[in-house]
Amino acid sequence: MPDSQFVHDAFSSIAMRYVAANHLLSLGIDVLWRARALEIVAEWRPANLLDIATGTGDMALDIQRELPEIQVLGVDFCEPMLTVAQQRGLRHALQADAMHLPLADDSYDAITTAFGLRNLPNYADALREFRRVLRDGGHLLVLDLSIPTGIVAAPYRFYLHRILPLLAGWFTGQREAYTYLGASIEQFPRAGAFIQMLRETGYSCPTALSLCGGIAVIYTAEA
């Protein structure tokens, strides 16, 4: 499981170049993944929503802009990332640890977390903490990276572990943060195991939507 202090320092060090590096390394495809997540959130019509591990705010800003009727709060423990989110227009931000949210039980209709859960020190405990804050019947959406199956798995792993740290290291000056990225994706449960974890942590109706052959997955579940 990821070490919180390392994760905090890694994101602090890349905050200023995070948005550009993301779009470069995913060839802009992350924008399409977030757009699909946004469509799902729109169907739920929540009154309020927490975007956990909001980082520089991409997901929260999309929701704030496209679904202005939703009250969005972006949460992250890394101040430099949140500062960028606020400079980009995020109206409501909270610096807090996702593992111990300073928020009341049953207080949110929806939670999203994009490329965030994978970085937390204990996935099951985090899911339980999110469940505590969600109202009964509320919705969870987790968008995260995975390893595709089949013949693309080997070339993808080569890109992830060999090429990407070099490219991103050159672009951000923080190669270690991107070596960590590959390791964290390998560690994160695959779809079947994650669906099981959602059930075991108090969610119902879990679904997994594979994107780009499994490079990313959108999970949804009900509290």
Ligand X SMILES: C[S@@+](CC[C@H](N)C(=O)[O-])C[C@H]1O[C@@H](n2cnc3c(N)ncnc32)[C@H](O)[C@@H]1O
Dist CA 6 CA 162 (whole Å): 21
The residue among 116 and 138 lying less far from ligand X, judged by its C-beta, is 116
Per-residue contact string for residues 20-39; x = within reach of ligand X by CB under 6 A: --x-----------------
CB-based contact 88:61 (threshold 8 Å): yes
Distance CA 199, CA 164 (A): 34
78 binds ligand X, rule: CB under 6 A: yes
Helix axes 29-44, 18-25, angle to 10 degrees: 100
The interface region with ligand X, picked from 41-49, 64-72, 109-117, 168-176 by CB under 6 A, is 109-117
**Among the listed residues 33, 77, 156, 219, the single contact to ligand X using CB under 6 A:** 77
All residues at 6 or more sequence positions from 61 whose CB lies less than 8 Å from its CB, including other chains: 85, 88, 89, 90
Give the closest residue to 181 by CA, choosing from 191, 171, 194.
171
Does residue 76 touch ligand X according to CB under 6 A?
yes
Q: Does residue 182 belong to the site contacting ligand X (CB under 6 A)? A: no
Residue 63 as a binder of ligand X (CB under 6 A): the answer is: no
Site residues (vs ligand X, CB under 6 A): 4, 7, 11, 22, 53-55, 58-59, 76-78, 81, 97-99, 114-116, 119-120
